[in-house]
Each structure stands twice: as C-alpha cells, then as structure tokens.
Structure 1
C-alpha cells in the first residue's frame, strides 16, 4: 500500500510518508547540527508524522484527493466532512514511541533516581517527545493547567486515538530501522553529556531560573529545526524549484571586497567624516576577534550602519557564518538601512539578492496550508527585521515565529538602537542572547549612542547579559563623544506646560530662523494635531509641511522622507512633525529640533537628527513639556520622562549627552523598573504565574515534586500571554501606490492558488502593510473598512477611503473631520 503524506496537484505523483519523513529528518539534522544535535534532528524528523501511517489518516488523504483538492491542508488534525467526521491525530504516535521506547533505555542507563544524570536522561526523552507532539500546535505546556491537560496527557492518550500500534505494524522498514539505530543507550549518554555542557546546570536546584530557561531554549531550538524542516519540505514538494534557492552559502569574500571598495569612495570632507572613518577602521580591526557579544557605542551620526556592516561581513568571513541579521526597533528604518547595504553589495548580475527585508507578519497567526508553504523563514545572507519580529521568534507561541529561531545560530546579529529593547523583555532577552552566544556560534553587536546597562541589571539570578572584558569595539568612548559634540539640549520645560498653540508657534519661529525644524512628539494624536494647527495658519507651503507616523506604510514613509532629504539638501524650508519613529537611526539633518520631554535616551536620539553633518558649530534641541498629554498607558515614555526630570535637576548646566550622564540615567531608570524586567503577567491570564520568565523556566507555581518530568515550562501558556500583551498588533495591506495592485493580485491568485506567485506577492506587500493595535482594528471593523483577501486566509487589506495621504490609516473616512482630545 502507498502511504500518502501530501497529495499532489493533478498529473503529479503524491508525496509518500516515507519520503516526507526521511527528507524532513535530513533537513532537521542539518538545522540541529548547529548545536551539535544532528541525531536528534534525524530522530524527530523520522517520527514527527508517524501517525500518517494509520488507516484513518490514509482514508482522509483519499477524501482530500476526491472531494477537497490538493490545496487543502493535509496536516489538519480536524476533519469536518460528510464522508469523515472527527479528529485524526497524527502527531502523538511518534511522541508516544519515543516515550515508550527511549524512557526505559534512559532509566536503565542512569538508574540512580536522585542523580542529575537521570534527570537529564529523562529530559532528553521529554524534549524529543515534546517537539514531535507539538509540531502542529506549537510547543505545549509540560504540566497540567486550567487551560490544558499538559504533556503527559498526550503521552497517555489512548491508542485508539493515536494509532501507534497500527502504525508500527506498517511503517516502512527503512524508517523504523533508522530510528532504532539512533535510539540507543549510547545516544542517551551522549545527549546527557551534551546537556551538561550546553545548559551548565545543577538540577538539584529546582529554583535555578537561568538553568531551567536554558533547557527550555534548547528545546525551542530543536523544535524550530523540526518545524522549519517540515515546512520547507512541504513547500519544496509543492514547488520543486524552491529547493535550488535554499541553503546557499554566501560568498563573504566577495562581500568583503565590495565593502572595501565602497569604503575607498567615501570622502573625508570634515572632522565628522574623519571620525566616522576612525570608527569604521576600528570595526574592521576587531572583526577578526573571537565570536561573542560586543558593543558599538557611537554618537548619533557616527556612521554605525556602514561600520557595523564592515565588522559583520569580515567577521562572517573569518568564522564561516551563515548569515547576518540587523534587528531594528522600527520598520521606518528597515528600508533605509536595506538600501544602504544594497548600495554596497548588490549587483544586477548577482544570482540572488543579498538582503531580505522582513517588515511585518502578513501571515495569519493560525497557519493555513497556503501560509505554511510560503512562510518567511529568514533564509537569506543578510536579514533586516524588527525587534518585535525577533522577540516573537524567541517568545511567541504557535509555529509561525519559532521556525526561524534556528537561523539565529552561526550568525552575526547586529542590534541597531538596542536601547529601544522593551523593558519587560530584558531578562528574557539577556538569557536568550547569552545562550545563542555561548552555544550557537552567534556573535551579537549592541549598537547605540545610548548604551543601556544590560550587564548591570538588578536580580542577576534572573539573567544579566554576559559582556566580556574588552567588548567595546571602539576605544575611548568618552573622547569620541566629545569630538562628535554638535548639539546641546536645552531644557525649556515649564511648570504650567506648553499649549498646542505655543508649540506650533515655536515650530514656526524655528522654521523662520533656521529654515528647517523637526518636532518629535510622544503620541500620534499630538503629531496630527500640530500638523493641522500649522496647516491652518497657511504660513507653510504644502510641500514643506510633512507628517510621519507608523500609521503610514513603509513605502509611504520612504517617499515622505525622500522629500524631506531632497528639500534639506536643496536648502528649502522643511517643517516635519513625527512620532518617535524618526529617532531610531533615520538619516536626516535638521537645523533645529523640538522634542517633547521623554527618556534621556530618546532626547539623545532626537539630537542625532540635528546638525548631523556638523554644518553648524552647535545646534539646539529644545525640550518642551505639553500641558495636556495622555501617556499614562505608555509607561516607557512616562517613567523615562520622570527620570529625565531628575537628571535635568541633578546635572543642570552640564552636557546631558555625556556617556556618564547617560549611565546615571539608566541606573535610575532600571532601578525604578527592575520589577518589570521579567515580563509581569496578570494572574488571571496565566493560572497564577507571576511573569513570563517564570513560565519559561522553573514554572514554580505549577511545579510539583510528584511529577516525573524534568521540564516544567508552560510554553503554550507563555506564548499566548506574550502575544496577548506585548505584541498585539495585526498587519493589513493598505491601498497606497502599488498596494492597490498587490491587493487585487492577491485576491486573484487565491482563486487559483500558485504558491510561488503568492509568496512573492506577500513579500512585496510587506512594504505596503501597517501594524494596527486591537482598538484601532476594532474601530475599522465596526466601519466595515477591513476585508480578507479570501475567506479563512487570514490576510487582510484596508478600504482605500480610510487611508490618508497626510496621516496614513484613519479610523474614519479620510474626508471627514478628525477631532483630537487632550
């Protein structure tokens, strides 16, 4: 009998279960080899779809072929058809085989019940079974909870539902013989030694948060290897041409030659250019150093993009790495940095693009068969994405984000503007990055002008960043800041605060005096209100008045920023109102800046948009405090603002941008928020757990000495909590420019599905997408302004009446008047 894993298109051969298992095992081994776990990859790959050998599943395959067509998801556990009702579980059988066969071997190899070795041996069994059992849902919770039965319930599921016994009778001999050849006592012993070295733990201490987190992260890495292998194999079966473009080793030698050629073309016209060259040369010199975690602390306008790229390319060449990541706080500068890198590296005759931009998740949270085939897995030489996407990869539930996790190994990760890391993710970030650097051949570079003290946070037992001695890539940071001093921050705050009219008047005054002025505010409402206030005065020509916010899609913002730069270069008037998105590395040079009071790090970043190229001897950043500003729901801004008030009082008359002042700011800021760094949770949402770090490590609230399990992590509960609280935005495509045509094409391609075309359309659509918070999404749905490209597809687009050329996405038709309440 031919056992079918995936039905083919008409006229093509179906993919057999045997072929799918062997090919996934090969791919998973390749990915898991990055942390020395090749055999684990083979084993979980061979067993992940063991349940597809059951008669029930094969009947389901025939149903799909007869009634539903090859575009239906063969991995779906839920079946709803007149011909076949109920559920077909094909992910539990492999997990049960692991538990039933490997656990006795593990216990025999390490018979001492109280030993760390036996705990690690049972952890090996648990990790493998957990990855297999979870490969459709995302990693499940290990222990029972109010929201789910937990891992052991899946292991104890009746054979009548998992079909394990039946599947073992008919499984292909080549598959089961390969499984049995690996699943031995020698394998268990080797894995125990591996775990000892990779997580460095003493399991006698059940409260060791970092140790337990490391064990969980190792599990996630293996899970990522399986998920991506499964998705890649399915996509390559649907479109065989895909495979020839995967896993290509970048030519770092060629890339290094190109950046060195580029560097020779840079002119040294002034002192700023000379200092930028010194920074770049220092980065080149340090690129041959060992892998690890480095900092690049450079004043704004110091040329971090090209300097860090120079380091990353030469470092990747030296250590034969797979890829380079740029993790950026806002989508607003992905395109700018991507273009800068392409200008150095890309040539028309190159066989593949050097750079991948991953702006947002247009894929649905609940994966469809289509999205599984075309999902973004970061397989490119240089990947630019956001901190949100990076954190989703580390922390979210499901399978969409975690499939990318293994790509972070054997790489350089450049964190641009690391100070923008969310405060509630600090311990989770520190522990993750420590693991990647220590065990995954990952080098990290923390770039910023305002270096946060991640290695000095309180509660060391929860996770501090491990920064080695000599980690700073440039010598004498203090002297560097003095040399590049081009701006002074002026405290113009008042007791009563500034009114809307007063701030607008100051902006117009600065425009008249300096010819260009940038006003950076804390909320979108203020940006729009100031824009409208100045617009109504009719004192500024239309082309000179610009508004920027994340409610505009990346292409829209790119056009507006191009207009800004063009006018600045030509000496024409420019008055720009923006949210803080413009602070994070956007390359603009205004003669004057007005900044709403916020954290000192934000003020320093705002200063980086002023006199950037040293055209004035000293320029000014005016800090103002609006009289009516609603930021109670924005704790990062509120606490930062209050801490800055303290710094202004203590260092009155001094240079607020000096590194030692910034260090004092972060010490105050981190002390005030130390209890928030573990991602605090509402007890009602997580069965009483107090924070995400707890759920992903010791899970103390639900742990019990009676459980035979070594891992206690509540992976699924943690993933849902993270999604619900920290990254609740949802993406939709907006009808700006080419976005209209892309929406039309996506709707058309879904009627006759073509994975290759759909994939390219989704990638192109990222630049025409906007991420919306739930309250905005709900308002637009009430207005019937959001549409799905096809029922159940999970990809959405916006009614064009709700997209403004001035402001982007609006919650009312754009012709209507907007009212802003302060």
Structure 2
C-alpha cells in the first residue's frame, strides 16, 4: 500500500487509492453542477497520482514521525505525474477538442498545490509545456505503474477521458453561443478552468480535512425544506409590519413584487428601487422564494462595505433565526474562543458551505480573480445559487469588464441567478464588455413610477465659484438650521469633515441657548464602537432637540437614520442619491431639502472616482437646468442616473479592463485572462512558430497582479473606552484562549489606516507594537473622543505603553 496521509492522533493511514477515489467522488459531485461529472471525476483520480511511489511513501511516514521537521516540505513533486499522464496520452493530437480537454484537466492537476500556473507568461514563455516535461526526476514510471495496477486501468482512463471530452464540447458550445466575440469566449474558457480547479481544490482539501480530523462528511441540508421554513418565517414577520403610512405602503408593494417575481427562472435581473425602500428584506423575500421555486443551493449577499455586513447580518438573523445556517465572511472578523471553533470558521470561510452567506465585494472578486488556492476554492459553490449584489454601483471601475464576463459565465453556464440591487443602477449592460441581462430584467416593472411615488426630497444645487470655505459652509449650515431641527452634512474627505465640524462646534458655543445644537462627527478615523455610540446618541437626540452631524461617506449606505435636511459636497450623482436616502427617509414630511455644495479646500485630486464623479455630475446639473422635463424634473430620477452613468462610463471607458502598471504598463488583466495576445506574439517572435497551446492565459501572473482595492490598510487598536483595557490585557501575560477573546473584542475598537496615515503616526511616535510585534496600537493622546484618530496632535510624555 502507498500512503497518502497519516492521522497521528488515531494512528490511521489513508492509502493513495482511497484518497484518489474519495477526491474523485467529491470532484465529480461538484463538477456535475455544470454537467462536467466525468471531467471532475478524472481530475480527482489523477491529482495525486505522483504519491504512488516509494519515495513519497517514505516521505509521508517520516513527516508523521517527525512533525516538527519541516525541512522536506515540498521537496517531493507529486502533482505533475497525473497531469503528464493526460498530456502524454491525449494532448499531442490534431483534434482540438481532445487537446483542449487535456489541457483543462492537466492544468488543474499540476497546479493543485500552488495555484494555477501561467500557460504563457507575459514574456511569452511556455510555462505549461515546461511543466508537462519536467527536468526533475518525478519517478513517473513508478507512479504510473502503481496507478494502473491499483487505481485506473488504461481502458478505464480512455473511457473516462472520452466522456469528459463530450462534456467539455457541450459546455464550449454553450459558451460560444453566450458570447459575441472571441476575446469574451477565451475569457469564459479561463473561468471554466478556474471552476474546475475550484472543484478539485475543494475536493482534495475537504477529503484531507475529514481524514485528518477523523470526521464524517457533514450531512446535507434539505434545502427545499429549509427555504420553505425560512420563507414562512419571513412572511410572518413582514405581515406584522405596520403599513399605514404612504412610505410603508410603497415598501410593501415593492416587497410583494419581489415575491411574485421569484417564480421566474434563473437569470440576471435588476432590483432598481429608491433608497429607503426596504430592499434588504425585499431581496431576501425574493431570494428565499426563488431558491425554493428553482431548487437553488445557497443564497449569497455581496455587500460593498464590512460595516453593512454587520447590520444586515443582525437584521437577517434576528428575523430568521437559524444562525448556524448563516455565515458572515469578511476579512475583519475574528472569531472563536477555542481551537475547534477556529478550525470550523476557517473551513466555512474557505468553502462557503452554508445555505446563506454574507460577504464583501472584495471577497467575491478575490474568489474569481485572486491567485493561489485558498480563494478560488470557494468558486464552485456559486453555481446554482442566488447571488444578490447590494449597492452594485460600488463595483471598482477597473474590474467592470472582468466582473461582467464572470457574471455572464455564472448565470449562463452555472445557472446562478444574479440580482443587482441599488437605487442608482450603473449601465453595466452598455459597456464594451457588457453584462448580459435577462429579457425583461426589472423586478419592479414600473420603475419610473415607483421613483415618483418615493420622491421625498428636492435636490437644490448651491455651487459657488471657487467653492465654500469651511467658515462659509458653517454659515450656510447654521442659516438652514433656522428652518430645520436636524441636518446632515456629508463631505468627501476626512480633513474636510474635521474642519467643518470644528467650525460648527466653535460657532455653536456662541449661539443663544435656544439656537444651540448637538453637533456630531462621524468618520472612519473612529473605531466601530465609537461610531455606533455616536449614531445611537444621534438617534436618541433626533426629534428631541436640534442636531447637526458632519460625516464622511460612511453614512451613505447601510445606516437607517433620517434628517430633515442634507448638505452634500459635490460628488458622483450616485453618491448624492445614496446620501439623500438619509434625508426624510420615512416620509416624515412632504419633502426634505438636499443641497449640493462645493468646497474650496476639499482636495480630491488623488481620489479619482470622486473627481470624475464630480465632473460628470456637473454636466448632468447643466443638462437639467437646460431641460428639466427630460429628467422628470427630478435630479435623482432613473433618467438622471442613466445620463450620469452615460457620461461617467464614457469618461472611464479605457479603465474598465484593469490596466496593469509598472513593467506591465500597456497590458490589461482582462486580456491576460483571455487570449493573452501579446504573450502569444512574443512567443511566436522568439520561436518562429505559434505556441502549441489551446489556453494561453497567464493565470498565475494575473492572480499576483489582481488587487480588488488599490490601497491596503492596517488595523490599529485604539485606546477608546474598553479598547484601553484591551491594549493592557493583550500586552500582558495571557493564554492563547484569552488572547483570542481579546482579539475578538478588539475588532470593535480598531481603526483601519492607510499607509500614509500610518507612516505619519509612526514618525510622531503615535503607535506602539503589542505582543511581540504582532498587533499595532495607538498611544494615548492620539485618539480624540469626538474625532477619533488624531493625526495632528504632537507627541506627549507617556506612561505605560
């Protein structure tokens, strides 16, 4: 017997044959969701063929007896043998289908330990063929003899490959029918490769996990019964909501329309509804009923910001219960008080194997486009699911082409149902690489009428030449406060918010007592616990006294709060519409006032999205002034938003393919993941012949280059309330279990800082390392009770940390 794994805790061995058959069964199951059962089975049978040697058997036994010795890790190449068998047996042929099938399978098999390799790298070097003809001794003949005698005979291999080729033929035919250009087809073939790779990775890792943990496979949930139960719970909850007011009645109409639309088949649809119309629960109502109607496996909520995940997850869990069925997955979440919980959470987040999953746009994009093996492992679970994108307009502009093509694959090939939710629908179907919407894609059929009925604000441009100073904007705000009891100011930068807040705070102190306001500040320089406390204090004060809140954009999405008046710094019309959703949100009065202003010192030169948005909004404002009837006399109407996106997407049309930088300037990630033409031309130029490859994508390079958001941030623990105690506790003597509990709490007292701010604090000696330089904390004196992280404070003399 050749050994694949050894479980030292129970002294049990798993043979190579057992592992291959188990992985083949799992991969077959996963791949069958897109009718590629034989393809998945064959990948599983081949993936660890290289373990069938005496050398690997000795290696695995040595590692089990010497767990502390990591020196031999990775020195035995066992992932190439199975790929080479397919390559040698089926690749060298004039039959393009056979060649294509062989490359799909062999590429997944040879890459299953380090991530998909490049077929051609960006310099035009043939990495695929190089991998299929390794220079090193992989003991191929010995591994092949073991495989043929113990696992799969030659005739069985040929039969299984023939079935796989027929499956691939059907999928390719379908892809070709779905796409209108060769480039889009090749991109889709690349996504197909990633899907198969995901099936293999998850099958391999999951079978290994079950054996090493001595666990049986988790019982499958009766999804139909679960969806029926959860839909019933939600229906009962919705029926208990009051509907007397006009706004609540309109929300009920939208919710009912979502329920009725759930009977339609799988596709790509839009839920275009005004802000404050209850789209979270309406889309959940749709998803639960559609999942039951169309036998879907899971429901995904893809959300742009981690702060909204917390709120939406709480709302959904409070209504549905069944918390064990709902997974929150985002990078900031630290869980578990014991090791088993850590392992279980890690497994769930790597697999996305829960009926309802709430995650971020960053995690979704990483699953599709990041390199390595951890993120892509989740991809196959998107098949046959309901995927709801909340605030779809937040998709990074550079990712639009790749996003559109990937969604078209998920809907067209994987039978996923895609719902694009927002009040400000971007025109994704009009771009160079368009998203293919279903016929009659609008869940709400009378979109224009619903926006008219939901109209709760008047948008009033108040732009001035040169822009307002902080002092002038303060005067403008206080003038409005003679008419209103509450006013929200939303600005584009933290510096602007700080300056205007300080102006208002100082002026407020000099007002007569009857005119004085409670002045609040919100920004991402405040930790979540601080922001939550400020929001709660605001909500308690609203309706009881005069309130002004000065905030950055963080308040625009996922915050259920209502002010009588809004002042919004000039931005994209989509952002202005989102901010307007915090004004007269529940229709407390006939109309709320939304003023658009400009600031003289608000520097957005490095914030390209905001700057371009400002320019396009100004064009719409001019168009509106010339012909308001064409916009239904409403700057937040669907017509106005369509005009805005027409301008915005045209302005940024050259940036949607994910342009690369540095040495790869002039190339796009979309092309690298499609035909990779420049690399193919470089190969031809160097070798005098075309590359003998079907797939030419540079998968590894693309995975390394991909970054969903441009700027990385670092979490800094802040000395705010309980955060002070946590800094002391984490830096003191504590057990591993205690440290995990402290870190779980610390997420509520942490601030994510960009590199420039972090470096500034380091120069000011405002940061200190905790726990052997594993956690960064902010020193006392650098956190303000109103402003959060203070980047202007001079260092003081400190005691303690």
Q: Structure 1 556/473 Cα, relative in aligned 2: closer, same or farther at 3 Å? A: same
Cross-structure match for 2:120: 143
Instruction: Give the conservation status (yes or no) of the 8 Å contact 1:588–1:609.
Output: yes
Cross-structure match for 2:227: 252
- When structure 1 is superposed on structure 2, of 513-522 and 606-615 the one drifting more is 513-522
SS at match of 1:309: helix
Instruction: Give the conservation status (yes or no) of the 8 Å contact 2:121–2:701.
Output: no
Q: Structure 1 388/12 Cα, relative in aligned 2: closer, same or farther at 3 Å? A: same
Superposed counterparts of 1:217-236, under 5 Å: 217-236=191-210
**In the alignment, does 2:190 pair up with 1:190?**
no
State which of 302, 306, 310 in structure 2 corresponds to 1:335.
310
**In the alignment, does 2:345 pair up with 1:390?**
no
Instruction: Give the conservation status (yes or no) of the 8 Å contact 1:750–1:790.
Output: no
Q: Hey, what's the Cα distance between the residues in 2 that align with 1:496 and 1:739?
A: 42
**In the alignment, does 2:111 pair up with 1:127?**
no
CA drift at 1:137: 2.1
Q: Hey, what's the Cα distance between the residues in 1 that align with 2:743 and 2:139?
A: 38
State which of 184, 189, 202 in structure 2 corresponds to 1:215.
189
CA drift at 1:243: 4.0
CA drift at 1:272: 0.8
- When structure 1 is superposed on structure 2, of 151-160 and 370-379 the one drifting more is 370-379
Instruction: Give the conservation status (yes or no) of the 8 Å contact 1:411–1:441.
Output: yes
In the TM superposition, what whole-angstrom CA distance separates every residue of 1:533-562 from its partner, at most 9, and x where no partner exists? 444556399994443334455555444433
CA-based RMSD: 3.8
- When structure 1 is superposed on structure 2, of 520-529 and 637-646 the one drifting more is 520-529
How many residues of Structure 1 are paired with residues of Structure 2 in the alignment? Answer: 769
**In the alignment, does 2:498 pair up with 1:528?**
yes
CA drift at 1:185: 5.2
Q: Structure 1 94/195 Cα, relative in aligned 2: closer, same or farther at 3 Å? A: same
The gaps in structure 2 that reach 5 residues or longer are 335-341
SS at match of 1:488: strand
**In the alignment, does 2:259 pair up with 1:284?**
yes
State which of 320, 324, 327 in structure 2 corresponds to 1:353.
324
Cross-structure match for 2:31: 32
Q: Structure 1 575/464 Cα, relative in aligned 2: closer, same or farther at 3 Å? A: same
Q: Hey, what's the Cα distance between the residues in 1 that align with 2:730 and 2:101?
A: 44
Cross-structure match for 2:87: 99
Q: Hey, what's the Cα distance between the residues in 2 that align with 1:812 and 1:9?
A: 56
Q: Hey, what's the Cα distance between the residues in 1 that align with 2:574 and 2:87?
A: 51
SS at match of 2:706: helix
State which of 659, 675, 680 in structure 1 corresponds to 2:659.
680
Q: Hey, what's the Cα distance between the residues in 2 that align with 1:214 and 1:726?
A: 23
In the TM superposition, what whole-angstrom CA distance separates every residue of 1:201-223 from its partner, at most 9, and x where no partner exists? 799x9x71101011001011111
Q: Structure 1 232/737 Cα, relative in aligned 2: closer, same or farther at 3 Å? A: farther
Q: Hey, what's the Cα distance between the residues in 2 that align with 1:171 and 1:428?
A: 39
Instruction: Give the conservation status (yes or no) of the 8 Å contact 2:3–2:13.
Output: no
Q: Hey, what's the Cα distance between the residues in 1 that align with 2:713 and 2:359?
A: 16
Instruction: Give the conservation status (yes or no) of the 8 Å contact 1:231–1:373.
Output: no
Superposed counterparts of 1:498-537, under 5 Å: 498-511=468-481, 513-537=483-507
Instruction: Give the conservation status (yes or no) of the 8 Å contact 2:521–2:551.
Output: yes
Q: Hey, what's the Cα distance between the residues in 2 that align with 1:816 and 1:51?
A: 62
- When structure 1 is superposed on structure 2, of 649-658 and 167-176 the one drifting more is 167-176
- When structure 1 is superposed on structure 2, of 481-490 and 88-97 the one drifting more is 88-97
SS at match of 2:403: helix
In the TM superposition, what whole-angstrom CA distance separates every residue of 1:101-123 from its partner, at most 9, and x where no partner exists? 2325xx3xxxxx3xxxx333212
CA drift at 1:766: 6.5
Instruction: Give the conservation status (yes or no) of the 8 Å contact 2:126–2:691.
Output: no
Cross-structure match for 1:619: 592
CA drift at 1:566: 3.4
Instruction: Give the conservation status (yes or no) of the 8 Å contact 1:486–1:618.
Output: yes
SS at match of 1:384: strand
**In the alignment, does 2:268 pair up with 1:313?**
no
Cross-structure match for 1:110: none
Instruction: Give the conservation status (yes or no) of the 8 Å contact 1:492–1:624.
Output: yes
Q: Structure 1 766/478 Cα, relative in aligned 2: closer, same or farther at 3 Å? A: same
Instruction: Give the conservation status (yes or no) of the 8 Å contact 1:437–1:443.
Output: yes
Cross-structure match for 2:20: 21
Cross-structure match for 2:640: 661
Q: Structure 1 256/552 Cα, relative in aligned 2: closer, same or farther at 3 Å? A: same
Q: Structure 1 253/532 Cα, relative in aligned 2: closer, same or farther at 3 Å? A: same
Q: Hey, what's the Cα distance between the residues in 2 that align with 1:249 and 1:764?
A: 34
Q: Hey, what's the Cα distance between the residues in 1 that align with 2:479 and 2:456?
A: 21
State which of 690, 706, 713 in structure 1 corresponds to 2:697.
713
CA drift at 1:330: 1.5
Q: Hey, what's the Cα distance between the residues in 2 that align with 1:655 and 1:469?
A: 28
Q: Hey, what's the Cα distance between the residues in 2 that align with 1:220 and 1:159?
A: 27
The gaps in structure 1 that reach 5 residues or longer are 73-78, 108-112, 818-822
Q: Hey, what's the Cα distance between the residues in 1 that align with 2:230 and 2:194?
A: 32
Cross-structure match for 1:157: 134
SS at match of 2:678: coil
